[in-house]
């Protein structure tokens, strides 16, 4: 590794480490017994990506999204996706003001910092596509006018993996806008006991997060992630793995250059969470399953095995 990269002053500042620790603790209190899931969620947030949660109802998806918005001092919005949901219900629309004789814009739920799109595959492709510009460009165009969204705009979309009646599968172009796909899963017995105990009695007063973490601080953390170094050998490893996905017999859709960029950025975020100023091949491997499973057209129960085969096909650089 380049010696300049490894100088102590290249490591995350103490303030950043304290903010990361606060965010980690806050999310782990909200979603109990899922520390690995929390690390992936944090990596996705710091990489400025968006998250797809594919899991059964009632496992804490909404709780996680609300806790994330609260932790960064941001605004939370939730959309329950249904077949009759219109694009304007998500982006907003203009209404005629009788007094001013002009059209006033009423912003939709995308004008928030954390948006939970619940059961996104239950709304029509037309409405799903309304999120595409917002996710890709952090802006929406309504009546030929561009409206800028929050620079920390973060989408958490959910879908049920077992109920597909009356659903509209997300197109590949939109799946590729998500940085990760995760599954929360059921908690362990002790975690469920802790959950029940915490639900009895008055809720404890929550510390004001603005003292330690806010939207401006989050942007600073995200900018620090961008500067995490990736050596040419490690980038070559990433490219070789991407090229394997394009020829693997069980992969329906090879990794795109955009997907490759997302994989590198999430790897940078993972290294940052581990308090390292550079990416290692291990970082790339650690985030491979959630990053690749959302964009290779793999069946969910085969994704882990196929991705492990892809990782094993390329020797790790030394």
Query: DSSP letters along the chain, please?
Result: --GGGG-GGGSPPHHHHHHHHHHHHHHHHHSTT-HHHHHHHHHHHHTT--EEEE--TTSSHHHHHHHHHHHTT--EEEEE--TT--HHHHHEEEEEETTTTEEEEEE-TTSSSEEEEETGGGS-HHHHHHHHHHHHHSEEEETTEEEE--TT-EEEEEE-SS--TT--PPPHHHHTT-SEEE---PPPHHHHHHHHHHTSSPPPPPP-GGGT--HHHHHHHHHHHHTSB--HHHHHHHHHHHHHHTT-TT-SSPPPHHHHHHHHHHHHHHHHHTT-SB--HHHHHHTHHHHHTTTS---HHHHHHHHHHHHHTSPPP-
> Could you tell me which of 268, 286, 285 has the C-alpha nearest to residue 226?
268
The pLDDT score that the predictor gives to residue 132 is 83
Judged by average pLDDT, the poorest of 60-69, 162-171, 230-239, 263-272 is 162-171
The pLDDT score that the predictor gives to residue 212 is 67
Per-residue pLDDT band for 36 (boundaries 50, 70, 90) equals very high
Average pLDDT of the chain is 87
**Of residues 13 and 125, more confidently modeled:** 125
The pLDDT score that the predictor gives to residue 7 is 39
Is residue 178 a contact partner of residue 51, using CB atoms and an 8 Å limit?
A: yes
The pLDDT score that the predictor gives to residue 298 is 81
- Please determine, for residue 210, whether its predicted confidence score (pLDDT) is greater than 80: no
Stretch 11-17: mean pLDDT: 75
Per-residue pLDDT band for 74 (boundaries 50, 70, 90) equals confident
- Please determine, for residue 207, whether its predicted confidence score (pLDDT) is greater than 70: no
Stretch 26-52: mean pLDDT: 94
- Report the DSSP pairing between strands 180-182 and 154-159: unpaired
CA 229 to chain centre: 21
The pLDDT score that the predictor gives to residue 58 is 85
The pLDDT score that the predictor gives to residue 10 is 56
The pLDDT score that the predictor gives to residue 80 is 92
* Structure-block tokens of residue 318: 């030394």
C-alpha distance from residue 219 to each of 47, 65, 255 (Å):
10, 18, 28
The pLDDT score that the predictor gives to residue 223 is 95
Stretch 123-145: mean pLDDT: 87
- Listed in sequence order, the residues at least 6 apart from 71 whose beta carbon sits closer than 8 Å to its beta carbon are 22, 23, 26, 27, 209, 213
The pLDDT score that the predictor gives to residue 5 is 37
Is residue 127 a contact partner of residue 81, using CB atoms and an 8 Å limit?
A: yes
Per-residue pLDDT band for 206 (boundaries 50, 70, 90) equals low
Stretch 234-244: mean pLDDT: 96
């Amino acid at each position: 590794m380049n010696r300049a990269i490894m100088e102590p002053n290249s490591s995350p500042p103490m303030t950043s480490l304290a903010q990361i620790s606060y965010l980690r603790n806050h999310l782990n209190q909200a979603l109990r017994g899922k520390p690995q899931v929390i690390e992936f969620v944090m990596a996705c947030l710091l990489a400025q990506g968006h998250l797809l949660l594919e899991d059964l109802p009632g496992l804490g998806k909404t709780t996680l999204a609300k806790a994330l918005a609260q932790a960064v001092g941001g605004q939370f919005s939730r959309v329950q996706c249904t077949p009759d949901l219109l694009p304007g219900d998500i982006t907003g629309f203009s209404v005629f003001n009788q007094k001013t004789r002009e059209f006033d814009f009423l912003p939709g739920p995308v004008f928030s910092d954390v948006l939970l799109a619940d059961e996104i595959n239950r709304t029509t492709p037309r409405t799903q596509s309304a999120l595409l510009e917002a996710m890709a460009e952090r802006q929406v165009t309504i009546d030929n006018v561009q409206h800028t969204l929050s620079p920390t705009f973060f989408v958490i979309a959910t879908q049920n993996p077992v109920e597909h009646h009356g659903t509209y599968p997300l197109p590949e172009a939109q799946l590729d806008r998500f940085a990760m796909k995760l599954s929360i899963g059921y908690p362990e017995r002790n975690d469920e006991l802790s959950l029940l105990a915490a639900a009895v009695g008055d809720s404890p007063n929550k510390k004001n997060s603005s003292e330690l973490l806010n939207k401006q601080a989050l942007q600073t953390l995200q900018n620090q992630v961008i500067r995490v170094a990736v050596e040419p050998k490690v980038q070559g490893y990433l490219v070789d793995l991407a090229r394997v996905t394009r020829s693997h017999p069980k992969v329906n859709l090879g990794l795109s250059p955009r997907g490759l960029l997302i994989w590198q950025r999430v790897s940078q975020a993972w290294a940052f969470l581990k308090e390292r100023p550079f990416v290692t091949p291990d970082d790339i491997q650690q985030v491979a399953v959630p990053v690749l499973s959302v964009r290779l057209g793999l069946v969910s129960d085969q994704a882990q095995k196929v991705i492990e085969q892809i990782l094993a096909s390329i020797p790790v650089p030394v």
